[in-house]
Amino acid sequence: MLSYRHGFHAGNFADVFKHFILVYLLNHLKTKKPFTFIDPFAGAGTYPFEDKFMQKNKEYLTGILKVLNNKITDLYIKDYLDLIHLANNNKKISLYPGAAQFALLTLDKKDTIYLNELHSNEYLNLKKNFEGNSNVKIDNTDAYSNLTKMIASSKSQKLVLIDPSYELKNEYDKVLKLIKHTYSQFKDVCYMIWYPDLKQDKTQKFVDDFLNLEIENTNHIHIELKNTNLRMQGTGFFIINLLKQDKQNIDNALNELVQLFK
């Protein structure tokens, strides 16, 4: 249990899609002050390529490095890539930022970044990487039990990223219950929920069950990559409370990204 480390897969194609969308949302929501970003499954928050977990699968080679080595035309994708260069001090790319680092590079000092990680070693890494920042709060709790407390901690506009590892057998059900319970209390929050497409029945069941929650203004994005050698054959997202124009901008950019992985 809790043997998963995001470093095993950091910087892969799913991270590219996920963090592009995240950066887009952060840039377009942070104009509403005060603003809070909540990452209840934060991991270590930043991932050096030399790290032993990154070296295990080296999925960044066919993920983010593939994007960086291609010509990009979409301005919103360029915003995302600019942050990766900034995280590497505009030098040779040697690390991939996690959601926490993308948020730190995007948001203002007056904005709040609330990070949480249950895995004890990853929590220590998260603290080491981010505790010196005055606008960052870091916790070591069970997100499934404490997300509502995280959201209730301030009255600001919020973006919540929900991207657990799905390593537990009942994790899909736990995410569904978490969203149903949390949304019932906080309907004005923007939620971004990620899931892996492993081409299993439980993935489709999760999608169907999520849509059956009938939450207003739920946008579903699914990306399938048929030629990947990875166990994960695609990735998907549910975004709650997304503006129509933002959905169009995201779709246009994703179309360009998908072409790079075909």
Q: What is the pLDDT of residue 227?
A: 63
Q: What is the pLDDT of residue 64?
A: 97
Beta partners for residue 165, in sequence order: none
Residue 255, pLDDT above cutoff 90: yes
Amino acid at 36: T
Q: What is the pLDDT of residue 187?
A: 97
**Contact in structure between 232 and 196 (CB atoms under 8 Å):** yes
- Of all residues in the chain, what percent carry a pLDDT higher than 70? 97
Of 226 and 43, the one with more pLDDT: 43
Residue 80, pLDDT above cutoff 70: yes
How confident is residue 262, by pLDDT bands cut at 50, 70 and 90?
confident
Q: Please state the rounded mean pLDDT for residues 241-256.
A: 97
Q: What is the pLDDT of residue 188?
A: 96
Q: What is the mean pLDDT of the chain?
A: 94
Q: Please state the rounded mean pLDDT for residues 17-39.
A: 96
Q: What is the pLDDT of residue 1?
A: 45
Q: Please state the rounded mean pLDDT for residues 179-195.
A: 98
CA-based nearest residue to 140, from 119, 125, 160: 119
Q: Please state the rounded mean pLDDT for residues 196-224.
A: 94
60-64, 174-178, 223-227: segment of lowest average pLDDT: 223-227
**Contact in structure between 192 and 219 (CB atoms under 8 Å):** no
pTM: 0.96
Of 199 and 198, the one with more pLDDT: 198
**Contact in structure between 130 and 104 (CB atoms under 8 Å):** yes
CATH number of 6-260: 3.40.50.150
Q: What is the pLDDT of residue 3?
A: 57
Q: Please state the rounded mean pLDDT for residues 215-244.
A: 89
User: What are the pLDDT digits (tens) for 87-121?
Assistant: 999 999 999 999 999 999 999 999 999 999 999 99
**Residue 109 phi, psi dihedral angles, 5° rounding:** -60, -25
How confident is residue 228, by pLDDT bands cut at 50, 70 and 90?
low
Distance from C-alpha of 15 to C-alpha of 2, rounded to nearest angstrom: 20
How confident is residue 175, by pLDDT bands cut at 50, 70 and 90?
very high
